[in-house]
Chains A and B, each alone.
Chain A
Amino acid sequence: MDFLRPLTWAEALEMKAERPDATPIQGGTDVMVEINLDKGRPTALLDLAAVAELAEWTRDNGTVRLGAGVSYTRLIAELAGDLPGLAQASRTVGSPQIRNRGTVAGNLGAASPAGDSHPPLLATGAEVEAESVRGSRMIAITDFYRGVKRNALEPDELIRAVRIPVATGPQYFSKIGTRNAMVIAVSSFAIAFDGRRVGTGIGSAAPTPRRAPEAEAFLESALDWSGPLDADVARRFGELVRDAAAPIDDVRGTRDYRLHSLAVMARRTLTWAWEDHLRCA
């Protein structure tokens, strides 16, 4: 196995262009597990840890540009105000050790349907900044997930950053696990209010993370923004989120439970977001 260690972003892109077979490694919390389990030994590792510019984030024009090397721990400490939904999701990832190393970019690279950052990225309409020696492009988050553990990156591309709109309204992330910490999601859900638009994201309940467009559209027409939340609206929203999912039975949970829990999480998070909305209004 070759071990490539670029020191700059330009060098990283060149190496990736030369060796499209190389597996990028950031925090390594997915990559090293696979290697330890002897699952698909990579021919080469491209270690991005020394690329200093990746470990930075900036805020510009209402958008956070989150470098691919920013750990969950830093995101929680530094960006909980700007990106509350993503910070809440980050807080549920693994253990402190995993959060110290793991990154949102790594979560996107792995593209597991159970990855915790995906629902808030979907709910906020984030974009993935992908780059290669050929140039840079923005991939809308809804176009990024292409199948179980598959994403839209070309073989020579790397994730430079993720662009996430700074929150303008309440956001919530909710995740079911069968223990109270350090657990892979059985199902998860994120909601984000942006003006009068409501974004959603569903995790662990379909081959890829996905939005619930009908539920979003329903809310936009059914919500009375000045008054209390109608319980029927909240319940219907939950049902529409549930209907957007296509989960399976597996060792972590049953299809029926996943559907049920999504309806509950969607209703509850909407209720909490509404309370915040009324408080701020």
Chain B
Amino acid sequence: MGASVLRPDGALKVSGEFAYSSDLWLDGMLWGATLRSPHPSAWIRSIDIGPALAMPGVYAVLTHEDVPGEKFYGLENKDQPVLAIDQVRYQGEPVALVAADHPETARRAADAIVVTYGEREAVTDPRVALERRMLVRHQPVRVGSTFSADVVVTGEYEVGMQDQAFLGPESGLAVPAEDGGVDLYIATQWLHVDQGQVAPCLGLPPEKVRLTLAGVGGAFGAREDLSMQIHASMLALRTGKPVKMVYGREESFFGHVHRHPAWMRYEHGATLDGRLVYVKAEILLDGGAYTSSSPAVVGNAASLGVGPYEVDNVHIDAYGTFTNNPPCGAMRGFGAVQACYAYESQMDRLAAACGLTPVEIRIRNAVSQGSRLATGQVVDTPAPLAEMLRDLDAMPLPESVSRDLRDLPGGVGQTTHGDGVRRGVGYGVGIKNICFSEGFDDYSTARVRVELLGGEPHVLVHTAAAEVGQGLVIIQAQIARTELGIDHVTVAPADTQVGSSGSSSASRQSYVTGGAVKTACEAVRERIEKDGRPLEVILQDGPIEETREYRHRRTFPMDPVTGQGDSHTQLALCVHRAVVDVDVELGLVKVVELAAVQDVGKILNPLALEGQIHGGTAQGLGLALMEEIQVRDGKVLNPSFTDYLIPTILDMPPMQLKILENPDPNAPYGLRGAGEPPTLSSTPAIAAAVRNATGLPLSRVPIRPQDIALA
């Protein structure tokens, strides 16, 4: 524990040898393809599958009529049809399925299906949806009654629709089983929640739908909702053959939910010396066509809507809307990201209004252990925000403008040799809830077995927890090694033959599955200690195996009227400083350096942890400067990596990190989830730095070149 142990999949991934879900293969398997709606809103007048069925090599063509069980599924609300029934509500909604002996045949057959649509009005402006009360959730927060102050700053902010942009598109293999069930090999974030949604739609009991995790090429929330799980299973059960489905890159943009775009109006009131008196906010998040996880996203935006600051008077309304835009749901940071950009922008405005530095205004209002959040929840574990800001501020600043094109805004595009370039520095602070909140029964299960192999004790750790790239696979092994003092540890493939581990999201797996592995190891150790004989001798009688569930502290719902309640179990802080060079004439930005301070409670694996902080920071950089799914009238304009830009290695600067270890006594080893917080604070820090360089208000991310150059 605490060492940079290398993960088993690392070298394989870098060298291209890792088997992803898209590499799955069985002889004689068929390929599935999906026909999707071209319209954001339409009636389906008729579907003619005849031309597709007539094509040689086609084994099955299915519509909603062929769904064997329940016709709807969903994470929080079963409102999404497995295949569209009589109407489509977003561009890309699945309408029909094909299985064929070749992927191109399957795609061509899908194109041959004749669907007659009757287009109808699409609601694509969430402000209109709000007026019409087309709401997935409205969560108010109401505290105090003083809403006037000496210094008042207001702002309206917008966040574009970000995509998780994982590199391994949705894919999996469904194999029909002799018992009438199905074995599904799938890249997902939570096997059991998939199982719980797939089985009813197939009309099967859960035990007949067995899932095994296939190689996951990134997730970031985009694999929380189902994609092709039910579809591939339906095709496999219908044809009696294994069916593989792999989305192409363009289809992937339609095959998963995105980060909610947001429209936010904030008003901050403070004393003349910069102490917050009140915060008023309206946060509008567009959830698109279906519920997905929008309710929980809205909950986070509301409960964390003022950020990690002490303020006695709060008036927040957070809304999630239904529209005919692409469905939005989970993405790293989950509702906290959007609010963070707005409240941090406001803190900078307040600093300017009060004549304070950005760091000073934040220190004056920073939460610490014992502070009360807007929800009334008391921060009962270390939260040394002021100290973190001071540490950050003390880090040395990078050198002045370099002459190498790769270090200048515009890169080798050579738009400047230094002409028009101004430097800016900005700060951002974020607070993220770790683990599931608002009363969710959030737990994980681990089975740990010790046995003799070749005369030596070996440990087998078995959980259903999804390794999605975050490094849990090595953390589980490190925990077992540490707890049992046995070197040989194998982490079994994740599947549904063991109890649920919960989702690989909300930065929760080190905490919850880590806790489960630790607890199961302790149970094994206890048996060994009780026995008293040497381990090798005990194991001669047979293996020792213990299974344990681990739960974090209970959380409670937010009051629907006041938003009050201990809704979170753990809170994590990250702070960023961004240094940018901006070509103010052309609006191009080079992020020169990002520095971060994060408190993780306890470092389990420094290398993996730094990777998470770098990666989260890069994703926040993407949101600040380039990543946006452009949607017009409900249609996606840039569903490709040609035009949906994510940062390259030349966009992501070196980082200075300081990682603190103030333990959370409630969590295993005192650890604090770490994957999401850096995604929050890097975006506002970069936006602030660009404002600092340009003097422009820049109230929207991503910041586009024209926002600067034509301002």
Interface set, chain B 77-115, CB cutoff 8 A to A: 104, 107
The minimal Cβ–Cβ distance linking A252 to chain B, given in whole angstroms, is 6
Query: Does B217 touch A at the CB level, under 8 Å?
Result: no
Query: Does B710 touch A at the CB level, under 8 Å?
Result: yes
A182 CA to B250 CA in the complex, in Å?
18
A74 CA to B645 CA in the complex, in Å?
27
Q: Is the CB of B705 within 8 A of A176?
A: yes
A105 CA to B355 CA in the complex, in Å?
59
Q: Is the CB of A253 within 8 A of B706?
A: yes
Query: Does B256 touch A at the CB level, under 8 Å?
Result: no
Query: Does A178 touch B at the CB level, under 8 Å?
Result: yes
Q: Is the CB of A178 within 8 A of B704?
A: yes
The minimal Cβ–Cβ distance linking A112 to chain B, given in whole angstroms, is 11
* Chain B residue at minimum C-beta to C-beta distance from A250: B637
A265 CA to B650 CA in the complex, in Å?
21
Contact of A179 among B415, B585, B647 (CB under 8 A): B647
Set of chain B residues within 8 Å of A272, measured between Cβ atoms: 417
Q: Is the CB of B250 within 8 A of A176?
A: no
Known contacts A178-B705, A253-B706: does B414 contact A172 (CB below 8 Å)?
Answer: yes
Q: Is the CB of A180 within 8 A of B709?
A: no
Most chain B CB inside 10 Å of its own CB: which residue of A175, A180, A185:
A180
The minimal Cβ–Cβ distance linking A30 to chain B, given in whole angstroms, is 12
| Residues of B contacting A: mostly | loop
Query: Does B648 touch A at the CB level, under 8 Å?
Result: yes
Interface set, chain B 631-674, CB cutoff 8 A to A: 637-638, 642-643, 645, 647-651
Query: Does A264 touch B at the CB level, under 8 Å?
Result: yes
Set of chain B residues within 8 Å of A251, measured between Cβ atoms: 630, 637-638, 643
Known contacts A88-B414, A268-B415, A268-B419: does B643 contact A180 (CB below 8 Å)?
Answer: no
Q: Is the CB of A181 within 8 A of B412?
A: yes
The minimal Cβ–Cβ distance linking B413 to chain A, given in whole angstroms, is 4
Q: Is the CB of B414 within 8 A of A260?
A: no
Q: Is the CB of A173 within 8 A of B414?
A: yes
Known contacts A38-B104, A179-B651, A180-B651: does B706 contact A257 (CB below 8 Å)?
Answer: yes
Query: Does B678 touch A at the CB level, under 8 Å?
Result: no
The minimal Cβ–Cβ distance linking A265 to chain B, given in whole angstroms, is 6
Set of chain B residues within 8 Å of A178, measured between Cβ atoms: 588, 625-626, 645, 704-705
Set of chain A residues within 8 Å of B706, measured between Cβ atoms: 253-254, 256-257, 260
A271 CA to B585 CA in the complex, in Å?
15
Q: Is the CB of B412 within 8 A of A92?
A: yes
Query: Does A186 touch B at the CB level, under 8 Å?
Result: yes
Q: Is the CB of B710 within 8 A of A264?
A: no
A254 CA to B710 CA in the complex, in Å?
11
Q: Is the CB of A181 within 8 A of B705?
A: no
The minimal Cβ–Cβ distance linking A87 to chain B, given in whole angstroms, is 11
Set of chain B residues within 8 Å of A177, measured between Cβ atoms: 410-411, 413
Q: Is the CB of A91 within 8 A of B415?
A: no
Q: Is the CB of A268 within 8 A of B416?
A: yes
A257 CA to B587 CA in the complex, in Å?
10
A92 CA to B637 CA in the complex, in Å?
25
**B 616-634 binary contact with A (CB < 8 Å = 1; else 0):** 0000000001100010000
- Give the number of residues in A that approach B within 8 Å (Cβ atoms): 35
Query: Does B122 touch A at the CB level, under 8 Å?
Result: no
Most chain A CB inside 10 Å of its own CB: which residue of B411, B415, B416, B419:
B415
Most chain A CB inside 10 Å of its own CB: which residue of B410, B590, B625, B637:
B410
Query: Does A184 touch B at the CB level, under 8 Å?
Result: yes
Known contacts A176-B586, A253-B705: does B415 contact A37 (CB below 8 Å)?
Answer: no
Interface set, chain B 247-289, CB cutoff 8 A to A: 248, 250
The minimal Cβ–Cβ distance linking A110 to chain B, given in whole angstroms, is 14
Interface set, chain A 258-277, CB cutoff 8 A to B: 260-261, 264-265, 268, 271-272
Q: Is the CB of B415 within 8 A of A183?
A: no
Query: Does B406 touch A at the CB level, under 8 Å?
Result: yes
A92 CA to B412 CA in the complex, in Å?
6
Contact of A261 among B248, B648, B651, B709 (CB under 8 A): B709
Q: Is the CB of A37 within 8 A of B638?
A: no
* Chain A residue at minimum C-beta to C-beta distance from B708: A257
Q: Is the CB of B637 within 8 A of A180?
A: no
Known contacts A37-B250, A251-B638, A264-B585: does B626 contact A179 (CB below 8 Å)?
Answer: yes
Known contacts A251-B630, A256-B710: does B642 contact A176 (CB below 8 Å)?
Answer: no
Set of chain A residues within 8 Å of B638, measured between Cβ atoms: 251
Q: Is the CB of A184 within 8 A of B642?
A: yes
Set of chain A residues within 8 Å of B647, measured between Cβ atoms: 179
* Chain A residue at minimum C-beta to C-beta distance from B706: A257
A260 CA to B626 CA in the complex, in Å?
20
A183 CA to B651 CA in the complex, in Å?
12
Set of chain A residues within 8 Å of B406, measured between Cβ atoms: 180
Q: Is the CB of B705 within 8 A of A257?
A: yes
A88 CA to B414 CA in the complex, in Å?
8
**A 146-173 binary contact with B (CB < 8 Å = 1; else 0):** 0000000000000000000000000011
A175 CA to B588 CA in the complex, in Å?
11
* Chain B residue at minimum C-beta to C-beta distance from A188: B413
Query: Does A103 touch B at the CB level, under 8 Å?
Result: no
Query: Does A73 touch B at the CB level, under 8 Å?
Result: no
A21 CA to B586 CA in the complex, in Å?
43
Query: Does A174 touch B at the CB level, under 8 Å?
Result: yes
Known contacts A251-B637, A260-B709: does B650 contact A181 (CB below 8 Å)?
Answer: yes
The minimal Cβ–Cβ distance linking A128 to chain B, given in whole angstroms, is 25
Set of chain B residues within 8 Å of A254, measured between Cβ atoms: 706
Q: Is the CB of B705 within 8 A of A186?
A: yes
A36 CA to B705 CA in the complex, in Å?
31
Interface set, chain B 373-412, CB cutoff 8 A to A: 406, 409-412
A267 CA to B248 CA in the complex, in Å?
43
**A 5-39 binary contact with B (CB < 8 Å = 1; else 0):** 00000000000000000000000000000001110
A173 CA to B585 CA in the complex, in Å?
18
Contact of A174 among B107, B414, B637 (CB under 8 A): B414
Set of chain A residues within 8 Å of B250, measured between Cβ atoms: 37
Q: Is the CB of B586 within 8 A of A261?
A: yes
Interface set, chain B 404-456, CB cutoff 8 A to A: 406, 409-417, 419-420
Set of chain B residues within 8 Å of A182, measured between Cβ atoms: 648
A251 CA to B637 CA in the complex, in Å?
7
Known contacts A180-B406, A251-B643: does B415 contact A175 (CB below 8 Å)?
Answer: yes
A175 CA to B417 CA in the complex, in Å?
13
Set of chain A residues within 8 Å of B587, measured between Cβ atoms: 257
Known contacts A178-B645, A180-B590, A182-B648: does B709 contact A92 (CB below 8 Å)?
Answer: no
Q: Is the CB of B412 within 8 A of A179?
A: no
Set of chain B residues within 8 Å of A37, measured between Cβ atoms: 248, 250
A268 CA to B420 CA in the complex, in Å?
10
* Chain B residue at minimum C-beta to C-beta distance from A88: B414
* Chain A residue at minimum C-beta to C-beta distance from B405: A91
A173 CA to B417 CA in the complex, in Å?
12
A252 CA to B642 CA in the complex, in Å?
10
A58 CA to B104 CA in the complex, in Å?
44
A37 CA to B588 CA in the complex, in Å?
31
Q: Is the CB of A91 within 8 A of B705?
A: no
* Chain B residue at minimum C-beta to C-beta distance from A189: B415
Q: Is the CB of B643 within 8 A of A252?
A: yes
Set of chain B residues within 8 Å of A176, measured between Cβ atoms: 410, 413, 415, 586, 588, 705
Set of chain B residues within 8 Å of A172, measured between Cβ atoms: 414
The minimal Cβ–Cβ distance linking B641 to chain A, given in whole angstroms, is 9
Set of chain B residues within 8 Å of A179, measured between Cβ atoms: 411, 625-626, 645, 647-648, 650-651
Contact of A38 among B107, B590, B649, B710 (CB under 8 A): B107
15 A–B contacts from the bound complex (CB under 8 Å): A37-B250, A38-B107, A172-B414, A176-B415, A178-B625, A178-B645, A179-B411, A180-B651, A181-B648, A185-B413, A186-B705, A254-B706, A257-B710, A264-B709, A265-B415
Closest 7 CB pairs of A and B: A180-B411, A257-B706, A175-B413, A181-B650, A180-B650, A251-B638, A181-B648
Besides A179-B626, A257-B710, 12 new A-B residue pairs in contact (Cβ under 8 A), listed by A number: A38-B107, A174-B413, A178-B625, A178-B645, A179-B625, A180-B412, A180-B590, A180-B651, A183-B413, A256-B706, A257-B709, A264-B415
